[in-house]
Structures are given as C-alpha cells and as structure tokens.
Amino acid sequence: MSENSAAEIYPWLKSSWHNLLRQHEQDSMPHALLLTGPQGIGKAHFGFQLALFLLCSHPAGDRACGSCKSCCLMRSGTHPDLLRLSPEDEGKAIKVDQVRSINHFVGQTAQLGGYKIILLHPAEALNISAANALLKSLEEPNGRCLFVLLTDQPSRLPATIRSRCHQIALPLPSKEDALIWLRQHGSDPDSMPLLLNLANGAPLLALSYQESDYLSQRDTLIKGFMALQKGQASPLEIAQQWQSLDLLAILNWMNQYVIDLIKLCLVKDDQFLKNSDAKLFLSAMAEQVYANKLYLYRDRLVEAKRGLLSGNNPNKILLLEDLLIRWSRCISH
C-alpha cells in the first residue's frame, strides 16, 4: 500500500490516536502538536494518518475514507492544504527558506474548506534560523491551521518551540506485543527477539533491520574489534574495512557494545545484554577493560554522534581511526 493511503494505526499507538480524535470531536485540537518518541515506533505514519483523517471529507469512524477527493489528492501527494517540510538532502538541516514558505501557505484560504496542515519531520533538523522563523508562525496561529512536528530528539528543539506545542509522547509497545506484531509482519520469526533488542524495543526499526543487512554489518564490526584485540589489524586497516558501512549505524552499534560491556563490568550478569548473541565475546572482553575507561569512551561516541546529527560532515576514515585508536587504549592495561 502507498505510504499516502489510509491505513490502520499501529496497535501500540491506538490509545494516543483515540485521545487526539476525542480532542478533535470536542473542537479542542491544539494549533500545534509535537509528536515525540523513539525512532522506529511509527511517528511519521501517525502524523500522516492524522493529516489524512483531518482533511478527509467523509471519515469512516476513526479512519479517513480513502476515496473522497481529499483522500485521492493525499494519495497522489498533491493535496493543496498539506505542506510537508523535511530536509532537502537526507541527514541535512531544514533551512530557513523552507520554513518561510509556511507564511505564504497559512496566509491562503484552505482550498477544500477544511484544515491547513503543516507536517514537519524531523523537527530536530531545523537550523537556528529556521527554528526562529517557525517560532513566529507558531506564535500567531491562523484559523484552522495545524502544525504537526515529529521528533525522536525533543531536547534538540529550542525550549521556545517546545513550549508552544502540545507534546504527545508516543509509546513503545510491550516486548510481548511487539514480538506478536513482528512475527505477523516479518519473514524470519526466529531472529525477531534479537532484532527487537537491538532496536531498543522499536518494532519498525527491528523490521527494517531484518529487511536490510544490519546483522551482517554488525558481524563485520565484531570481527573488526576481534582483529584489533588480537593485534591482527591496525585501527586504520579496520577503519578502511568499515568505510562502506553507515557511520551513524556504526556509532549506534559501538554505543550499544560499550553499554553492554559496562553492564558486565559492574554486575557480571549477561541477562540484560542488547547483543545477547555475542555474550561470550563480550564477557571475555569485559575481563580486559575497566568501567571508568568505558564511560570516557562512551562520552567520545556520544560527542561524535551529536556532531554527526547536527550536520557536521566529518572525515569518515579519520573519525573511525580515532575511535579505534582510543578503543585500543581502553583494552590495554
């Protein structure tokens, strides 16, 4: 089904969905929503389905009808009363010129006579100038105009923007409910518990891991660490082997790896490891490192990730080599 079509709300989000529809029925819908929650739970789907429902001429119960003129325009991506703002280039910032287009959009009468909706995703991609321009629009709500901002990093948004939005924290499902859903939609049920663990409980992220070569990439990283530990390859050689992998994925996995090692150093219990299939390797590694060094190393990983997410464009080989050199120092007493 096209992502622009009417579709079921994910089961773990239905309570949040019905709460919003209740506000709509009571004519108490805020003029700006900030939908937050972890990556991979369906925020973008939720936001689009809300826009689809509110713009639909003949909603059927708690869903858009899928067949009226408005729904057809939404399906084709040409609805005149919906403005979608995202970075022009993936991973880059939402620029001030994009946000300024909102002023023209909200100043026009709704062509189909209902809401005018602005979907902005991911909201944390707003640069400073764009955030300031958006703030002006949020301060002066215009009629039946609804802003829907989506983010999994609300702390990166200015407090002034957060304070002008009605925040809705979309939840993760329970592990049991997530696994039931994944086994209905995935192709390899046996891998789902591990993938869900690696995805921090987010079902859609776990599903994307299954549909990609995430586990094989992770194996490449583990082999690189093992080679470094045994002195079989230098940091530069391993960095070159990792060059084709996604940098953000590398940083996320390394962070999980370090957190698992910290757990083993502190409590000597492998029950709560994210990388549960690698517990023998991790347990052996935990005998060679100190928790205080791991905390310092994790700080460097967080710093590198923050820089990457803020739009920096680091030299990938140099960054990976630096991280691997630091790791070599961690495991040498």
Report pLDDT digits (tens) over 181-217. Answer: 999 998 788 889 999 999 999 999 999 999 988 888 8
How far is C-alpha 36 from the chain's CA centre? 10
**In the chain, % of residues over pLDDT 70:** 98
Q: Give residue 5's pLDDT.
A: 60
Report pTM: 0.87
- 138 CB burial (10 A radius; 0-12, 13-18, 19+): middle
pLDDT tops 60 at residue 1: no
Asked if 218 and 253 touch (Cβ cutoff 8 Å), the reply is: yes
Q: Give residue 19's pLDDT.
A: 96
Secondary structure (3-state) at 85: strand
Secondary structure (3-state) at 205: helix
Which is nearest to 198 in space by CA: 40, 1, 36, 3?
40
Asked if 301 and 251 touch (Cβ cutoff 8 Å), the reply is: yes
Sign of dihedral through CA atoms 284, 285, 289, 291?
Answer: negative
Q: Give residue 332's pLDDT.
A: 73
pLDDT tops 90 at residue 84: yes
Q: Cα(299)–Cα(229) distance, rounded to whole angstroms?
A: 21
pLDDT band of residue 113 (cuts 50, 70, 90) is confident
Q: Cα(249)–Cα(239) distance, rounded to whole angstroms?
A: 14
Q: Which residue type does 111 have?
A: Q
> Dihedral, CA atoms, 17, 20, 24, 26, nearest 10 degrees?
120
Q: Which residues contact 100 (CB under 8 A, 6 or more apart)?
A: 133
228-248 mean pLDDT: 92
pLDDT tops 50 at residue 47: yes
Kind plus residue range of the DSSP H or E element containing 149: strand 145-151
Q: Which residues contact 290 (CB under 8 A, 6 or more apart)?
A: 265
Q: Cα(281)–Cα(129) distance, rounded to whole angstroms?
A: 47
282-297 mean pLDDT: 91
Domains annotated on the chain, with CATH: 11-169 (3.40.50.300), 213-330 (1.20.272.10)
Q: Cα(146)–Cα(53) distance, rounded to whole angstroms?
A: 13
Q: Give residue 333's pLDDT.
A: 59
Which is nearest to 192 in space by CA: 207, 202, 204, 177?
207
**In the chain, % of residues over pLDDT 90:** 68
Q: Which residue has the tokens 């891998």?
A: 191
pLDDT tops 60 at residue 245: yes
| CA angle (304, 309, 314) in 5-degree steps | 55
Q: Which of 59-63, 119-123, 208-212, 223-227 has the highest mean pLDDT?
A: 119-123
Q: Give residue 2's pLDDT.
A: 46
pLDDT tops 90 at residue 281: no
- Which phi and psi angles does 53 have, rounded to 5°? -65, -45
Asked if 88 and 95 touch (Cβ cutoff 8 Å), the reply is: yes
Q: Give residue 3's pLDDT.
A: 60
Task: Using alpha carbons, list the distances in angstroms from residue 169 to 49, 94, 123, 145, 328.
Answer: 17, 23, 14, 22, 40
Asked if 69 and 81 touch (Cβ cutoff 8 Å), the reply is: no
